[in-house]
């Protein structure tokens, strides 16, 4: 699972750091075998932040509470 969280100024102000921390915590809790988590900069959707991309799918207005659902929706069989 490839996850990218925007940490540009707008997303940062809207809680990108907390979203990243939640992804880190959830990955440990559910033992995902392969998860690449990275920070990126502006996706040109600043009004819709926090922007998260998972396996090429863009999610907008992501909060830490959304993370478990996003992981569940994007887990592959066997993860």
| Structure confidence at residue 76 (pLDDT) | 67
Rg (CA), the chain: 12
- Does the pTM of the predicted model rise above 0.75? yes
Q: What does the DSSP 8-state code read for residue 71?
A: H
Residue-range domains of the chain with CATH: 2-74 (3.40.30.10)
Q: Are 28 and 73 in contact (CB under 8 A)?
A: no
pLDDT digits (tens, 9 = 90+) for 15-63: 999 999 999 998 876 666 678 899 998 878 889 999 999 999 999 999 9
Angle at 12 between CA 66 and CA 34, to 5 degrees: 50
């Amino acid at each position: 699972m490839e996850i990218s969280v925007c940490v540009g100024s707008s997303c940062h102000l809207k809680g990108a750091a907390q979203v990243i921390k939640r992804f880190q915590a959830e990955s440990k809790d559910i033992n995902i075998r392969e998860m690449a988590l990275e920070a990126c900069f502006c996706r040109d959707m600043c009004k819709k932040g926090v922007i998260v991309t998972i396996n090429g799918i863009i999610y907008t207005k992501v909060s830490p509470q959304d993370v478990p659902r996003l992981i569940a929706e994007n887990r592959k069989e066997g993860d």
